[in-house]
Amino acid sequence: MLPNERGARQAIVIGGSMAGLLSARVLSEHFEKVIILERERLPEGPEARKNAPQGRHIHALLEAGLTVLDGLFPGLVQDLVHEGADLVDLARDAAWFQSGSWKVRYEGGPRSILVSRPFLEWKVRARVTALPNVEVWQGYGVEELLTDASRTHVTGAKVKGPEGERTLEGGLVVDTSGRGSRAPHWLEELGYGRPEEEQVGIDLGYTSRLYERPASFDAWKILVVNGRAPEAKRSGFISNVEGGRWIVSLNGYFGDHAPADDEGFLEFARGLPTPHLYEYIRDAKPLSTPVSHKIPTSRWMHYEKMARFPEGFVLLGDTVCALNPVFGQGMTVACLGAKLLGEKVARARTSPGGLHAGLARGFQKELSKIVGLCWFLTTTMDLAYPETRGKRPFGLKAVQWSVQNMIDLTSLDAKACHAFYEVLHMRKGMEGLLQPGFVSALMAYNLKSLFVPREQRANLTTLPPAPGRTAPPAAPNGRDVAA
Residue 483 pLDDT: 45
- The Cα 246–Cα 223 span in angstroms is 10
- Distance of CA 152 to CAs 172, 184, 189, 312, Å? 13, 16, 13, 9
The per-residue pLDDT for 474 is 65
Question: For residue 269, what are the contacts with CB-CB under 8 A and spacing of at least 6?
Answer: 236, 248, 250, 258, 277, 278, 281, 282
- Predicted pLDDT at 476: 66
Report the C-alpha gap between 94 and 92 in whole angstroms.
6
Q: How many whole angstroms separate alpha carbon 330 and alpha carbon 479?
A: 36
Q: Of the candidates 363, 310, 359, which has an alpha carbon nearest to the alpha carbon of residue 152?
A: 310
> What pLDDT score was predicted for residue 349?
81
Rounded to whole angstroms, the Cα distance separating 334 from 60 reads: 12
Compute the distance between CA of residue 433 and CA of residue 420 in angstroms, rounded to an integer: 7
Is residue 226 within 8 A of residue 60, CB to CB? The reply is no
* pLDDT value for 227: 87
**Predicted TM-score of the model (pTM):** 0.93
| Confidence at residue 481, expressed as pLDDT on a 0 to 100 scale | 59
Q: 18-27 vs 63-72: helix axis angle to the nearest 10? A: 40
Show the beta-strand stretches assigned E in 290-359. 291-302, 313-315, 321-322
Positions of the chain with pLDDT under 70 = 1-8, 53, 353-354, 470-483
Cβ proximity of 419 and 435 under 8 Å: yes
Burial 144-167 (b: 16+ CB within 10 A, else e): ebbbbeeebbbbbbebbeeeeeee
For residue 104, what is the DSSP state?
P
Given a contact cutoff of 8 angstroms between Cβ atoms, the answer to whether 232 and 326 are in contact is: no
